[in-house]
Amino acid sequence: MNAKQMREKRGALVEQMQGMVAAAKAEDRNLSNEENVKFDSISNEVDELRSAAARIERSEELKKEMASNVEVRNAAPVKKVEARDAFNSYLRKGFNNLNAEERNAISELRGTDTQITTTDGLGGFLVPELWASEISATELFKSDIEKVATIIQTQGGNKFNLPANNDTAVVAAILGEGTAESVSDMTFTNVEFDPYTYSSKIVKVSRQLVQDNAFDLGSFVAGQLANRLNRGINAHLTTGDNSGKPQGVVTGSTLGKTAASATAVTIAELLDLMYSVDVSYRNAPGAAFMMNSATFAAITKLGFGSSNDFPVVIPSMEAGAPDLLFGKPVYVNEDMAGIATGEKSVIFGDMKQYYIHQAGGVQLLRLEERYADELSVGYLAYKRIDGNVVQGSAIKHLIQA
């Protein structure tokens, strides 16, 4: 008897059991002793049939699985080319000189961008965000601000409009019986993002290094280009004036506290700054402080020798995690101004309310012919990006007197 026949027999026995119970109910009685014995016997047979059918079906599945494994073992082994290796090959040889496996790995990274049809000698190469992790440099092409802000990723570079609304001032109220409710319309604003193109300038590498397999060309080129991009982008995403450049997170913030001194900050002033931000933003997951290293060092020193039982700054015990100020993360950004007259030295708020529009991925060009007479190969990276604070009240700054 095969598994199908066993299941059919099991179904018939179950119907028989149901019939016995239904007949007893129709006569308004319980099963008799004789019926109970028969019912239990059928039930045992049903259980055995179910187990037997399952064993047979599992056996058939294992046979198919073993047959499949044999086919795989007999097939020619296919060596998977890792994305990192394929990209390094591209940097050394160009797309036209890759083998089929390398081309496939590269094409998977390139996606469906129109530049996939561009020849290596004339065009560029699209490096999507995924590539950074593929070469074990996760945050390689991200500036400090990009790590904490909200990123909006689009394929194209067209202007991007984002509606904004701040409704925190409107609260619910008790409505009296028979009283008509008043209207409180929500007011929306529009924030426009128009990405700017940042170029790394060209990095030249001698052909001797390009051809040297012992030299980690991928990490070298990526590191050099990423550092250049990050220095320019982070500065503008921090203090850009929104005129021919992005609006920086400091520029888009609103006044939260004016320090009494031009050369110092007090604990009380930092608390005032923090509590000047509405509680809905102050307690948001993205709520944090941001300042440069010198400012943070000065604030940390405020806790030394203090009689206050509550530590102002709590150093992080976990690698990569930020220190805490009043229980909130502190992100160090060296492009912020220090403690000096009229400078916005500290910001606090929901950093996720700073939105960054990134058009496409990082573009990388391999320039082979341009420096052929120097026996060098040039590499150039560029990135299209814009930034804007959507809710100014969500991020506030402390300004020195």
Six token digits for residue 376:
């060098």
pLDDT for the residue 187:
64
C-alpha–C-alpha distance, residues 248 and 399, integer Å:
16
Binning pLDDT at 50, 70 and 90, where does residue 336 land? very high
**Coil, helix or strand at residue 6:** helix
Most confident of 28-32, 57-61, 125-129, 272-276: 272-276
Q: Which residues of 204-232 are buried (b: 16+ CB within 10 A; e: fewer)?
A: ebeeeebeeeeeebbeebbebbbebbbeb
- Other CB atoms within 10 Å distance of the CB of residue 71: 9
Count helices and strands (H / E) in the chain.
11, 15
Instruction: Kindly report the backbone phi and psi dihedral angles of residue 188, in degrees, each rounded to the nearest multiple of 5, phi listed first.
Output: -110, 145
Between residues 330 and 321, the one the model is more confident about:
330
> Residue 29: which pLDDT band, with cuts at 50, 70 and 90?
confident
Helices (H), 75-171: 83-93, 100-110, 130-134
Q: What's CA 388's distance to the chain center, in Å?
A: 19
Say what the pLDDT of residue 267 is: 93
Which tens digits make up the pLDDT trace of 239-263? 999 999 999 999 999 999 999 999 9
Calpha distance 303→292 (Å, rounded): 18
**CB neighbours of residue 59 within 10 Å:** 10
Q: Cα dist. 243→26, 196, 387 in Å?
A: 87, 11, 12
The pLDDT score that the predictor gives to residue 251 is 97
pLDDT value at residue 199: 93
Q: Which of 248, 226, 227 is nearest to 336 (CA)?
A: 248
C-alpha atoms less than 13 angstroms from C-alpha of 382 in its C-beta half-sphere: 12
Sign of CA dihedral 202, 129, 353, 282: negative
For 28, left (φ over 0), alpha (ψ -120 to 50), or beta?
A: left
Q: What percent of the chain has pLDDT over 70?
A: 81
Element spanning 297, H or E: helix 293-301
In the prediction, which pLDDT does 311 show? 73
pLDDT at 388 over 90: yes
Give, for 10, the enclosing helix (H) or strand (E).
Answer: helix 3-26
How confident is the model at residue 302, as a pLDDT?
85
The predicted pLDDT at position 340 comes to 97
Provide φ and ψ at 351, rounded to 5°: -65, -20
Query: What does the pLDDT look like over 123-178, one tens digit per residue?
Result: 333 333 333 333 333 356 788 899 899 999 887 777 777 776 666 677 787 888 88
For strand 395-399 and strand 344-350, is the pairing parallel, antiparallel, or unpaired? antiparallel
Listed residue (64, 60, 65, 66) closest to 3, CA to CA: 60
Q: How do residues 259-296 score in pLDDT, each as one tens digit?
A: 999 999 999 999 999 999 999 999 999 999 999 999 99
Q: Which pLDDT does position 320 carry in this prediction? A: 77
